[in-house]
Amino acid sequence: MRIIEKVSEMQQQADAWRREGKRIALVPTMGYLHRGHLTLMQKVRNHADIAVMSVFVNPIQFGPGEDFERYPRDMERDVRLAKEVGVDVAFSPSATDMYPEGYQTHIEVTEVTRPLCGKSRPGHFQGVTTVVGKLFHIVKPHTAIFGEKDFQQLVAIRRMVRDLNMDIEILGHPIVREEDGLAMSSRNVYLNSEQRNNALRLSQSLREAQTLVRQGERNSAAILAQVRNILEAGKDMRIDYAEMRHPETLQEAQQIEGPTLLALAVFVGATRLIDNCILNASA
């Protein structure tokens, strides 16, 4: 597997592939790969001739006091794992190459980034859409794939692609979970054994919500009350948000009238975890 570190080299290689008529797929990551990432990489092999993984811990999507400096990094391990699932190129640029001195241009998607993580982490999604937009221009993919655990991110990127007429197919992939239900995340490594056990309350609360809907409950407030009860019963846990939203517009949903996003963000100790599911009244 080839490793490319320079933006200009990646652009030249992408141009060459396109001249040869090859279809390029991109899997954007911040590295420290887990099985969820690898599942995305395996999936894009069915959609392209060339699979590119980007590894870049993007400084502009982290706010003050967040975990940019301690975010887990292990490039050697990432390359080994990606190679095993058939990735062709790892693109790992430096921050100074991505954001040269004097950099002042950003991409901002407005409405769908206001609630949920956008409310809790001001500026986060501007950093996400900016870096993804830059990666699209550098890697020049025909398709790109994102996990649905970061559901709001996926919605924002799809909105950006539509609004800016980007000729890129955006694929989403269902959340990949551990056997006990915990959504896979690079940040799970921050959890000690007790916190890891408490973190299971996120997926447990989602399952309880799904059960309530199957039993006929349609009122969002009633469902969220049960979700909060499960989460708040955990030791050293603090709810950032637990909300019902329309899965495309992310507008608040008072009733379950069709597919409805139940989105969670919860601090387990100092670690902020997110999870979600789609509730459907017809299911």
What residues are labeled active site?
37
Q: Which of 91, 115, 104 is nearest to 25 (CA)?
A: 91
Q: How many Cα atoms sit within 13 Å of 204 on the Cβ side? A: 14
Q: How many Cα atoms sit within 13 Å of 239 on the Cβ side? A: 18
Yes or no: say if 52 and 24 are a contact pair by the CB < 8 Å rule: yes
Token match 């206001």: residue? Answer: 114
Residue type present at position 268: V
- Burial of 127-143, coded b for 16+ CB within 10 Å and e otherwise, reads bbbbbbbbbbebbbbbb
SS3 282: coil
Which pair of structure tokens corresponds to residue 255?
């009733």
Residues forming beta bridges with residue 274, ordered by sequence position: 265
Cβ-Cβ contacts under 8 Å for 35 (sequence gap 6 or more)? 176, 184
Yes or no: say if 144 and 170 are a contact pair by the CB < 8 Å rule: yes
